[in-house]
Structure formats: C-alpha cells, structure tokens
C-alpha cells in the first residue's frame, strides 16, 4: 500500500491508473481511528473496483465544536496497518493545508437535506462534509465512493450532491456494523467510560423498541418516536438530543408511517454524542389490515 499526502501526487496516481491500466477506482473517505465499520466499506469498495483508495482526514470544516475536533481520536500508524491488511492500494492522508489552503473560500451546501436532524444541532457540519467530500471526489476521481448508512443524513446529502452537480461517480451505501450488544461502531465510542459504554446500548434498544411497535401495527409517528424516547429515558446517563421519525428520502417529519420511515437518534452519553438510525418498514400484512 502506498501512502500519499499531497493532492497533486494523488491526482497523478489517479490519472495513471485510469489511463495506463484502465482501472476502476473506488474511494472510501474516513476520518481515521478505524474500526470494523470502516473496514466493511473497504470490503464493499473492493467488490466494485480494481483499485481502492481510502482517505484519512479529520476535516476541521465539519466540526461545530473545537473540543470535539481536538479530542477526535487520531492513530494514523494503526489505520495504515489496518488498511494495508484490508487490501487498500492507496492511503490518502493529506495535511489540512493541502485540503484547505489558507485562501480557500469555496464551500458547498446541499440546501434542504442539511437542515433537519443533525443539521439543526450542528451548525455548518454538513457544509463541511459536502465540501470535503466534493474535494476528495475531485482529487481522486473515483468511479465509486462508499459511505456508511450509520451516517444516514450524510449519505443522503452526498447522493443528492452527486446528482445535483452531475458527478460521474456511483455512491454506494453500506449497512451499519454493530458491536455484539448492538452498539453501532463509531470512532467516538473510544471516548466512553465503562459505565457510559454500558449505557450506550440504549440507542439500539430504542431502535428495537420502535421497530417492535411498528411490527405490531403502529403507524402513528409520534407514538413510535415516544416508544424510542421512553427506552432512552430508562438510561440515567443518556441525554437525547433528538428522536425523529422522518421520510427516508426527504428527511422531513412524518405524522403517519405508510410504508417506510427513518427513525434517527442523537444521544449524549456523558460528553460524547452518539447517533444511530434504522429504516422501519411496515410489514406487508399490516399494510393490508390497515387498508382493509
Ligand atoms: P467517519 O470516519 O466516522 O467519518 O466514517 C467514515 C465512513 O465510515 C462514513 O461513510 C461512515 O458512515 C462509515 N461508518 C462509520 N461507522 C460505521 C459503522 N458502524 N458501520 C458502517 N459504516 C460506518
């Protein structure tokens, strides 16, 4: 595996493999502190392309809190070893000044999809995400880029950006990878104390409670959200930021769930903010019962 830090060197590599080898290239953007969730994206990328580039860049533009940026876990040596073992061809790990020269003044905003859910609580976050992802796509020019459904809103707005800006890239979504007890893997899980780690399973429990309610025929979005919130309420260390039942495509609030809904959660456990989500599907029999 080759490690590249400079934008021009990354661009030259891309030109060469596309021109000389006619290779299909996949990109997996990350912020490092890798776990099995990231590695599952690499695995998917390998199925879609001849060469895989993984980027590790802790993007300052997407952090709404300096303390979060400063304490974000960084471990490039370990990340490099994991990516090499996973069959990645290039680790792109640019310093900040390469991605954001001091005089940079162009940013990208995906208007409506940036507003709800995390966007309402993290000002500027999705502007930073869209900007860095567009930069990475322009630098690497991959045929495919893989993103996790763990960050559902991010995936939705990247798909929208690719469509709106006529990017020649397939955006592929990857399922959420979880610890055995259900906690969605996240680099921020490293911040949790033992007690907080135990408390953090309340997020997946809340998703499960809502899913069960829907399986039982419930279609009222407020009732479904309340079931999830009440599960979170049983955990003393949890402070929910939002619990939302929204349309999986537009991310706008639903009052009634007809076929599918996204249940999305953001919850503070101590000083760590965790997110999780699940697409809830009304069982076909329930739909029939309802319309009968
Ligand atoms: P991050 O390093 O947190 O910015 O994440 C980089 C990519 O990995 C994003 O596309 C995330 O959605 C994805 N990702 C992070 N955690 C998981 C997970 N538990 N399962 C699947 N994908 C994930």
Q: What is the pLDDT of residue 285?
A: 63
- Is the C-beta atom of 187 inside 6 A of ligand 1? yes
Per-residue pLDDT averaged across 144-148, rounded?
99
- Structure confidence at residue 6 (pLDDT): 98
Measured from the CB, is residue 151 less than 6 Å from ligand 1?
yes
Considering only CA atoms, which of 203, 187, 278 is closest in space to residue 235?
A: 203
The total of other beta-carbon atoms located within 10 Å of residue 14's CB is 21
Q: What's this model's pTM, rounded to 2 decimal places?
A: 0.97
The burial of 73, by beta-carbon neighbours within 10 Å (0-12 exposed, 13-18 middle, 19 or more buried), is given as middle
Q: How confident is the model at residue 283 (pLDDT cuts 50, 70, 90)?
A: confident
Ligand 1 proximity of 150 Cβ (cutoff 6 Å): yes
Residue 31 pLDDT more than 90?
A: yes
Ligand 1 touching residue 204 (CB < 6 A): no
| Confidence at 291, pLDDT banded by 50, 70, 90 | very low
What is the distance in angstroms between the CA of the first residue and the CA of the last residue of the chain? 59
pLDDT in the model for residue 292: 39
Q: Whose CA is nearest to atom 18 of ligand 1?
A: 37
CA 147 to ligand 1: nearest atom: 10
Cα(13) to ligand 1 centroid in Å equals 25
**What pLDDT is stored for residue 200 in this prediction?**
98
User: Atom 10 in ligand 1: which residue has the minimum CA distance?
Assistant: 147
Q: Is any atom of ligand 1 closer than 6 Å to the C-beta of 148?
A: yes
Q: How far is CA 110 from CA 113, 149, 205, in A?
A: 6, 18, 32
pLDDT in tens, 61-119: 999 999 999 999 999 999 999 999 999 999 999 999 999 999 999 999 999 999 999 99
pLDDT in tens, 257-275: 999 999 999 999 999 999 9
How sure is the predictor about 284, in pLDDT bands with cuts at 50, 70 and 90? confident
Q: Which runs of consecutive H residues, i.e. helices, occur in the chain?
A: 7-19, 36-48, 66-71, 76-85, 96-99, 118-121, 125-140, 152-164, 194-199, 202-215, 221-233, 284-291
**201-235 tens-digit pLDDT:** 999 999 999 999 999 999 999 999 999 999 999 99
Q: What is the pLDDT of residues 123-134, one digit of tens each?
A: 999 999 999 999
The mean of the pLDDT values for the chain is: 96
Ligand 1 atom having least distance to the Cα of 177:
20
Mutate to test the pocket of ligand 1, among 72, 75, 145, 151 (most ligand atoms within 8 A of CB): 151
Instruction: Check pocket membership of 176 for ligand 1, CB cut-off 6 A.
Output: yes
| Residue closest by Cα to atom 17 of ligand 1 | 37
Helices 125-140 + 7-19 axis angle, to 10: 50
Q: Looking at the annotation, which residues are catalytic?
A: 38
- Rounded CA-CA distance 260/262 in Å is 7
């Amino acid at each position: 595996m080759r490690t590249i830090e400079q934008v021009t060197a990354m661009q030259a590599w891309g030109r060469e493999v596309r021109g000389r080898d006619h290779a299909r290239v996949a990109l997996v953007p990350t912020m490092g502190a890798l776990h099995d969730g990231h590695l599952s994206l690499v695995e998917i990328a390998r199925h879609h392309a001849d060469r895989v580039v993984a980027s590790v860049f802790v993007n300052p533009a997407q952090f709404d809190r300096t303390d979060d940026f400063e304490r974000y876990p960084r471990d490039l040596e370990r990340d490099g070893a994991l990516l090499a073992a996973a069959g990645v061809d290039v680790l792109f790990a640019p310093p900040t000044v390469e991605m954001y020269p001091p005089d940079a003044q162009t940013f990208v905003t995906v208007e409506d999809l940036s507003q709800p859910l995390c966007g309402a609580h993290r000002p500027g976050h999705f502007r930073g995400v869209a900007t860095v992802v567009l930069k990475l796509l322009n630098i690497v020019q991959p045929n495919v880029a893989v993103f996790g459904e763990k960050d559902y809103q991010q995936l939705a707005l990247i798909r929208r950006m690719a469509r709106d800006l006529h990017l020649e890239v397939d955006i592929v979504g990857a399922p959420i990878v979880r610890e055995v007890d259900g906690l969605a893997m996240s680099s921020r899980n490293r911040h949790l104390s033992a007690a907080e780690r135990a408390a953090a399973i309340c997020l997946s429990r809340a998703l499960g409670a809502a899913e069960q309610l829907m399986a039982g025929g419930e279609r009222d979005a407020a009732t479904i959200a309340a079931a999830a919130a009440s599960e979170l309420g049983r955990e003393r260390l949890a402070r929910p930021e939002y619990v939302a039942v929204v349309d999986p495509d537009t991310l706008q609030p639903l009052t009634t769930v007809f076929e599918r809904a996204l249940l999305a959660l953001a919850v503070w456990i101590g000083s760590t903010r965790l997110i999780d989500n699940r697409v809830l599907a009304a069982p076909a029999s329930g739909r029939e019962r309802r319309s009968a």
